[in-house]
């Protein structure tokens, strides 16, 4: 069984939207709706658990979940104070029989069913991998600075990737990594960092650069434009 945890518990502070950025309207729907629609349409996904702000479960359910009418959605649960706590809440709600767990940010609405399926297939085809992360190689020169902004090191961009979601994992590896992080008080910036820290092997696969995360106000117009372009391309086909 392949289970997905869609994390949508952010506060949206940088976006300036009360209630969470996943409720921001894009082309008439909340941002979260598009991410959920892609997972619901993906044949590689068997069940979906949505993690939202604990005070807004009813609102998220009514506006972003119920309109999909998807039997794959197993539950909508409240998250924690951090993303890591929210993913942990999602892990507690998915089936105990899950073989693969895919974690995705609800604020990345441009994800496609094809990309989700490719990440799952890459994981299942590589017996040595505990996880697969979608991202893209760095195209910019990256600088490491000190607290005053003084450049101390120019990083080798040939070995640097920008990690995104979805991130697909073997269920036992992800659960073990979260258990270890909880026991040891470790906080990671993404799910793969927990698996890596716990000795797991994680692979990167290249995804499109437009798989962006809604973070600041100017992202809204960009995402709307990209969605509109997809619709036009589909109409031409």
| Pair type for strands 131-137 and 47-52 | unpaired
Q: Which of 7, 5, 149, 140 is nearest to 72 (CA)?
A: 5
φ, ψ for residue 49, nearest 5 deg: -115, 130
- CA dist 74 → 46, 104, 232 (Å): 10, 16, 33
Query: What residue spans of 109-161 are helical by DSSP H?
Result: 113-125
pLDDT digits over 195-230, tens only?
999 999 999 999 998 898 988 888 888 888 888 887
* 4-17 residue pLDDT tens: 999 997 655 555 55
Tens of pLDDT, residues 37-64 = 999 999 999 999 999 999 999 999 999 9
Alpha-carbon span 184 to 182, nearest angstrom: 6
- For 171, what's the count of Cα atoms within 13 Å in the CB-facing half-sphere? 16
Distance of CA 114 to CAs 40, 77, 121, 187, Å? 12, 26, 10, 31
Return d(Cα 8, Cα 54) in angstroms, integer. 10
The Cα 21–Cα 219 span in angstroms is 11
Fold of 2-135+163-236: Spore Coat Polysaccharide Biosynthesis Protein SpsA; Chain A (3.90.550)
To 10 degrees, what angle do helices 171-184 and 83-93 make? 130
Which one-letter DSSP state was computed for residue 217? T
Under the banding of pLDDT at 50, 70 and 90, the label for residue 182 is: very high
Q: What percent of the chain has pLDDT over 90?
A: 75
Distance CA 73, CA 3 (A): 10
Q: Model pTM?
A: 0.91
Residue 80 CA to residue 76 CA, distance in Å, equals 13
């Amino acid at each position: 069984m392949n289970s997905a945890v869609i994390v949508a518990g952010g506060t949206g502070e940088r976006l300036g939207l009360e209630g969470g950025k996943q409720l921001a309207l894009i082309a008439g729907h909340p941002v979260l709706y598009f991410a959920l629609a892609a997972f619901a349409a993906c044949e590689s996904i068997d069940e979906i658990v949505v993690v939202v702000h604990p005070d807004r479960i009813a609102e998220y359910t009514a506006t972003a979940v119920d309109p999909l009418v998807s039997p794959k959605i197993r539950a909508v649960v409240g998250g924690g104070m951090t993303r890591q706590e929210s993913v942990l809440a999602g892990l507690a709600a998915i089936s105990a029989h899950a073989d693969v767990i895919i974690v995705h940010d609800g604020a990345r609405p441009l994800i496609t069913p094809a990309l989700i399926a490719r990440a799952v297939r890459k994981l299942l085809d590589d017996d040595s991998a505990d996880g697969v992360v979608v991202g893209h190689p760095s195209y910019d020169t990256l600088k490491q600075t000190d607290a005053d902004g003084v450049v101390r090191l120019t990083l080798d961009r040939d070995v640097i990737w920008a990690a995104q979601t979805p991130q697909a994992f073997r269920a036992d590896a992800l659960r073990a990594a979260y258990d270890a992080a909880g026991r040891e008080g470790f906080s990671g910036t993404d799910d793969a960092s927990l698996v890596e820290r716990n000795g797991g092997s994680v692979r990167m696969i290249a995804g499109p650069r437009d798989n962006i995360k809604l973070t600041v106000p100017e992202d809204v117009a960009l995402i709307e434009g990209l969605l509109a372009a997809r619709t036009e391309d589909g109409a031409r086909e």
